[in-house]
Structures are given as structure tokens and as C-alpha cells.
Amino acid sequence: MKKFATAMLAACLAVTAGCANYEPPKAWEKGNLAKPEMTMGGDALEQRFEQHIYTSKENASGGYGVGGGGCGCN
């Protein structure tokens, strides 16, 4: 059992040793990260479209400032 624990400790140390040399990205490497598509929210117009589809399919709406039924007419 002691050999297994030692082997597991060595494996954990080897895995975490790869994270020790972390460097933040350089300024020229951030080009793709600065795009609006990379944000957690994404495109605001696309979110609005998806919310419209969701409320139409669920036949309910509310909490987003608009009223309407399930047909998507409003």
C-alpha cells in the first residue's frame, strides 16, 4: 500500500509540475480573445433572437420586458 501511495504522490506531483511555468498570453496573442464572440454573453442580437425562439416554443414570456403569446406575433 505504501508503494501505491508513493506512486500516486509522484504522479500528482508530475501532473502539477506542468502548471508551474504558466505565463499569461502576450499582447499579440490576445487578438482572438478580444473578439465579441469570445465573451460569455456573445452577440446581443443573437441572444435576443434565441430568447424570442425560446419564448415562442415554450408558449410563455415574461421577465424580459416584452409581452406576447406562443405564436411569436408580438
Q: How far apart are CA 57 and CA 12, in angstroms?
A: 48
pLDDT at residue 19 tops 60: yes
| Chain segment 63-73, per-residue pLDDT in tens | 555 555 556 55
CA 57 to chain centre: 24
What is the value of pTM for the model shown? 0.32
Q: Which three cell numbers stand for residue 68?
A: 406576447
- Count other Cβ atoms within 10 Å, centred on residue 30: 11
Which DSSP letter does residue 28 get?
A: G
Contact 51, 58 (CB under 8 A): no
